[in-house]
Amino acid sequence: MKTLTISNGTAFIKKKGLISLLIVTTFLILPNSIQKASAQPRLSYIKILVAPDHPDWNYKVGETAIFNISVLKSNIPMKDVKISYEIQPDRMSPVQSGTTNLAKGCGQLKEKLDKPGFLRCAITVEYDGRTYTEYATAAFDPFKIKPTTNLPDDFLVFWKSAKEELAKVPVEAKVTLLPEKCTEKVNTYEVNIANITGRVYGILCIPKKSGKYPAMLQVPGAGARPYEGNIDMAERGIITLQIGIHGVPVIMNREVYGNMMGAAIHNYPTINLDDKDRYYYKRVYLACVRAVDYIFSLPEFDGETLAVYGGSQGGGLSIITAGLDNRIKYLGVFYPALCDLTGYLHDRAGGWPHLFKDDFTRKPDKIETSKYYDAVNFARFITVPGFYSSGYNDRVCPPTSMFSAYNTITAPKEFFIVPETEHFTFPEQREKMYDWLARKLLK
């Protein structure tokens, strides 16, 4: 590829014998080699602004997406600034890359996609010894994305048998009041209950006022950490149970969990992946069912109105729990993980934990096991209303994988898309999610 820069701020990129116009505007994208960690956005001295030219960032297959790019210093466009750029399908190899100068600090890049999916444009600027990056992602008919995984013939039989095995284990709840976490309206407890193997630990919050209440099960994101419980929702009049998945107490020192992640449960999504009966997530998925069992045993529960909620791994677990347990009446999902795990076997992004990109996991028995644990296959059996929210810039739980699951769901569903978000949520997303859950549970 050859880049020609013209002094009036207009540039042309020559690619495969074709010339496409590059004009100064605002769009930021991140090359694979310098991808920043997904996190809440932060201010920086040099600002790179990147956005597709369609307000909703959505295009039809075959349309050309124009990425507008601006580079600012002190909120003023920088003159004669050099940028590096990459345009790539979601987590795949770039289809465009190179460098160019923006004479007036603004420009455009163009690209199209010939099938449903996402194109991510990443911009990098080096200035005064620092590297700045930003990116944006255009969607091409995302509601037409279909999953790559398939449903095993014995999927329902396998999970029916697993739940029957769990049902033979008494719940054996142990409950400890946590006075320091109680409020004027809410009692807070640490609880632990028996699972298929080991225990499930969590934080339970119950309104103090006598009565019968709806409930919400909050399932966790990836990793291990202490939990505080969802006191805010409990103060609205909803029983909340926030669980961990690793069979250890959830009120220990944070350092303990860091040590676990570095040793005992390091890379836990691959533990026993070659055996569907012993795979790590079997106990995790059944822990979610056991948490539902426990909620139904509470005298304060109204016996019917139950939602499941979570983000990332917790988003995937919410889909899985709703598909696995018909006692769930509503679900709330942020950027779900564990979706369409076989994507990388079909030259497109797969869901977190990004299996089948290496020789260690890309084996027939592990691929087959994944189908029994893929959120897409549980999504096929969801029958209750759900509220979903995510963004197009997420590289932890790629939007390609998320839409694979969402598009499979035939139950009533709402999707609040905030295209620019990565693996985080804006306050508006969280408010909409909690308000939706509260309306459903408290109606």
- Enumerate the active-site residues: 312, 394, 423
Nearest to 298 by CA among 200, 193, 196, 165: 193
What's the chain's Rg over C-alpha atoms?
A: 24
Helix or strand (DSSP H, E) at 118: strand 117-127
Q: Which residues contact 131 (CB under 8 A, 6 or more apart)?
A: 34, 124, 125
* Among the listed residues 388, 383, 442, the one whose alpha carbon sits nearest the alpha carbon of residue 416: 388
Strand (E) or helix (H) holding 439: helix 427-442
Tokens read off for 241: 């149970």
CA distance 334 to 403: 12
Residue corresponding to tokens 């999927």: 155
Whether the bond between 353 and the residue before it is cis, its omega within 30 degrees of 0, is yes
DSSP string, 297-311: H-TTEEEEEEEEEEE
Give Cα separations from 381 to 39, 176, 236, 324, 408 (angstroms). 32, 36, 30, 8, 9
Rounded Cα distance, 48 and 83, in Å: 10
Q: Is the dihedral of CA 30, 36, 39, 43 positive or negative?
A: negative
**Nearest C-alpha neighbor of 418 from the set 104, 32, 41:** 41
Q: How many CB atoms lie within 10 A of CB 67?
A: 30
Q: What token pair was written down for 263?
A: 């040793």
Are the C-beta atoms of 12 and 19 separated by less than 8 Å? Answer: yes
CA distance 100 to 2: 10
- Quote the crossing angle between the two packed helices 313-324 and 280-297, to the nearest 10°: 60
Residues sharing a CB contact under 8 Å with residue 347, sequence separation 6 or more, in sequence order: 92
Q: Tell how strand 46-52 and strand 386-390 pair up.
A: unpaired
